[in-house]
């Protein structure tokens, strides 16, 4: 019995040492950092069918685009009202968490629909005070 427990412990040791390999951790990081500063009830979703339009609008916000982290991945959120949020972060990658106090961890934009198409409603580029 003791050998079985030791074998199980050794098998799971790599998972314990790298939280990024656990889907629960990734979901927590994405929700926490991508919704920081916006307390509305965002729900994670797939990219909308017109995701390229939202990307173009976000790209027009040059100062925010310059803060997109290296190796960032896209995550999409929606509100029951239909509002959309695009979040870009590298925090789900182990190397993305090496320097928590780094303003280039996550950038997000929330959009509202207008007659001309999506427009940026709000955005956030975290800063870190040390």
At 103 the pLDDT is 53
pTM value?
0.69
Report the phi/psi class of residue 71: left, alpha or beta, with left for phi > 0 and alpha for psi in -120 to 50.
left
Q: How many CA atoms lie within 13 A of 121 on its CB side?
A: 13
Strand-pair category, 73-78 with 106-114: unpaired
Question: Above 80 in pLDDT, residue 113?
Answer: yes
Phi and psi, residue 57, nearest 5° = -65, -45
Q: Are 58 and 86 in contact (CB under 8 A)?
A: yes
How much is the average pLDDT of 6-13?
44
CB atoms within 10 A of CB 109: 23
At 51 the pLDDT is 96
Question: Above 50 in pLDDT, residue 38?
Answer: yes
Residue 102 banded pLDDT, cuts 50, 70, 90: low
């Amino acid at each position: 019995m003791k050998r079985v427990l030791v074998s199980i412990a050794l098998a799971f040791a790599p998972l314990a040492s790298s939280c990024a390999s656990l889907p629960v951790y990734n979901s927590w990081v994405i929700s926490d950092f991508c919704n920081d500063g916006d307390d509305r009830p965002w729900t994670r979703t797939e990219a909308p069918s017109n995701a390229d339009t939202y990307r173009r609008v976000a790209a027009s916000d040059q100062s925010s685009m310059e803060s997109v982290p290296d190796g960032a991945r896209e995550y999409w959120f929606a509100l029951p009202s239909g509002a959309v949020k695009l979040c870009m972060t590298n925090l789900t990658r182990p190397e993305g968490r090496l320097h928590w106090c780094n303003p280039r961890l996550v950038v997000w934009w929330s959009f509202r629909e207008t007659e001309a198409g999506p427009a940026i409603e709000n955005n956030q580029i975290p800063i870190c005070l040390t």
